Amino acid sequence: MKKIQMVDLKSQYEGIKDEVNNSISEVLDSSAFINGPQVHAFQKELEAYLNVKHVIPCANGTDALQICMMGLGLQPGDEVITADFTFAATVEVIALLNLTPVLVDVEPDTFNIDIKAIEKAITPKTKAIVPVHLFGQCADMDAIMQLAEKHNLYVIEDNAQAIGATYTSQSGEKRKAGTIGHVASTSFFPSKNLGCYGDGGAIFTNDDDLAHTIRGIVNHGMYKRYHHDVVGVNSRLDSIQAAVLRAKLPNLDNYNRKRREAARKYSEAFKGHSNIVVPKTVNSCDGICGPCDCHVFHQYTLRILNEKRDGLVQHLNDNNVPCGVYYPIPLHSQKAYVDERYNEADFPVTNQLIKEVISLPMHTELDDEQIQFITNLVIDFVNQ
């Protein structure tokens, strides 16, 4: 059996080696390493894929989220509501801008932000909501956009984990994750569904004026060289990373299909085991339905109910199977973000999830033998 990895980027590269190498060679031949033709071509191709008016590439996903907030003109003291159960980058940029993070609980099945908790947290100081499309599927964007319209709030989608996912609204309209709110950020970190070979990120919006503002912010506030019209940062996607992403983008839907296939096989193996809760799709399908496009499984995350999660982590590691606990500490308990405003009673789901979740290997190169080996290890240990 091939060595099991959490993410197998080397095998994925072997399948697109010629395309990647040729794309990188074009950059080396042109020596246009910053804002070169590959960056502009990738921007246009991603706009077409997402059916969004503006893609603004930048240096990484954390920058992308910060620049979204800068572009909207949020001011120190403005409150921004986001999920407690996510990676720290989401709240980090809020704090860096001297905005006030307001953390709320998540849903126990999809792990995405709880709509009722958002509504309860809104105050006259609230200016924005940041739904995190965790592990590969969208939060309830219909409800979030309705709340935003009701309270005159911005919606900034944190789409670092769900690129390529499709959200089907109550009206039946289908839109790609990251194209529904006022603006969105994404990450091209190597392990993402669409990842480069270094750091990279991008911002999406359909707002022409906002896009213009953001294009200045990512480049030192310049629209004309040496004319600094807004306060900006230095955050650019370099041409080599854009070249890698151009080679990968045509494969993204197939990559996401392979992830869903692996997820189906995992879930089928765990079916009927009462102490193992498999991921639930946002459309509440029984399992992962055939035409599923709502989840792209950046992570395949189980809940282990019989207090054996930590033992399972050790058991898998002992058998050379990598796994991850995303996330072991809620943001409201992190030293950097502790705040007397938070009450433990407001985070019952998050406080339970951190004891139960475990993410299994998930990538485009998983094969049936590996999946069977992993699932047998999990089932045998949990059922002991």
* Cα–Cα distance list, 219 to 36, 237, 358 (Å): 14, 11, 39
Element (H, E) at 143: helix 141-151
Burial of 98 (0-12, 13-18, 19+ CB in 10 A): exposed
pLDDT in tens, 280-338: 887 656 567 667 789 999 999 999 999 999 999 999 999 999 999 999 999 999 999 99
Q: What letter represents residue 224's amino acid? A: K
Query: Rounded to whole angstroms, how far apart are CA atoms 222 and 20?
Result: 31
Q: State the sign of the Cα–Cα–Cα–Cα dihedral 205, 208, 212, 215.
A: positive
CA dihedral (119, 125, 130, 131) in degrees, to 10, reads 0
Distance of alpha carbon 87 from alpha carbon 352, whole angstroms: 17
Residue 375: pLDDT above 90? yes
- Helix/strand/coil for 108: coil
Burial of 77 (0-12, 13-18, 19+ CB in 10 A): exposed
Neighbours of 222 (CB within 10 A): 16
Q: Which residue has the tokens 């494969």?
A: 251
pLDDT of residue 290: 64
Query: Do residues 219 and 232 make contact, with C-beta atoms less than 8 angstroms apart?
Result: yes
Q: How far apart are CA 119 and CA 121, in angstroms?
A: 5
Q: What is the pLDDT of residue 292?
A: 74
Check if the beta carbon of residue 172 is closer than 8 Å to that of residue 211: no
Question: What's residue 384's pLDDT?
Answer: 82
| DSSP conformational letter for 334 | S
Give the DSSP letter of residue 321. Answer: -
Q: What digits encode the pLDDT tens for the residues 158-182?
A: 999 999 999 999 999 999 999 999 9
DSSP-derived pairing of the beta strands 126-130 and 201-205: unpaired
Q: Give residue 293's pLDDT.
A: 85
CA angle 211, 213, 217 (to 5 degrees): 110
SS3 169: coil
* Residue-level pLDDT at 281: 85
Instruction: At 378, list the tokens.
Output: 């999990």
Residue in 19, 59, 43 with CA at minimum distance from that of residue 247 = 19
- Report the candidate in 237, 72, 216 with the shortest Cα–Cα distance to residue 156: 72
Going by pLDDT thresholds of 50, 70 and 90, the confidence category of residue 56 is very high
Helices 61-71 & 208-217, crossing angle to 10 degrees?
120
Average pLDDT of 364-378? Answer: 98
Give the rounded distance of the alpha carbon of 122 from its chain centre. Answer: 24
Q: Does a cis peptide bond (omega within 30 degrees of 0) precede residue 327?
A: yes
The predicted structure's pLDDT at residue 289: 67
Q: Classify 127 as helix, strand or coil.
A: strand
Query: What are the tens digits of pLDDT across the range 254-263?
Result: 999 999 999 9
With a pLDDT cut of 70, the percent of the chain lying above it is: 98
Q: Around Cβ 260, how many Cβ atoms within 10 Å?
A: 22
Q: Report the mean per-residue pLDDT for the chain.
A: 96
In single-letter form, the type of residue at position 159 comes to N
Amino acid at site 87: F
* pLDDT tens per residue, range 186-225: 999 999 999 999 999 999 999 999 999 999 999 999 999 9
Tokens of 157: 């989608």
Rounded to whole angstroms, how far apart are CA atoms 276 and 188?
A: 31
- Distance CA(132)–CA(65), nearest Å, equals 11
Reported as a single tens digit per residue, the pLDDT across 1-45 is 999 999 999 999 999 999 999 999 999 999 999 999 999 999 999
How far out from the chain centre does Cα 364 lie? Answer: 17
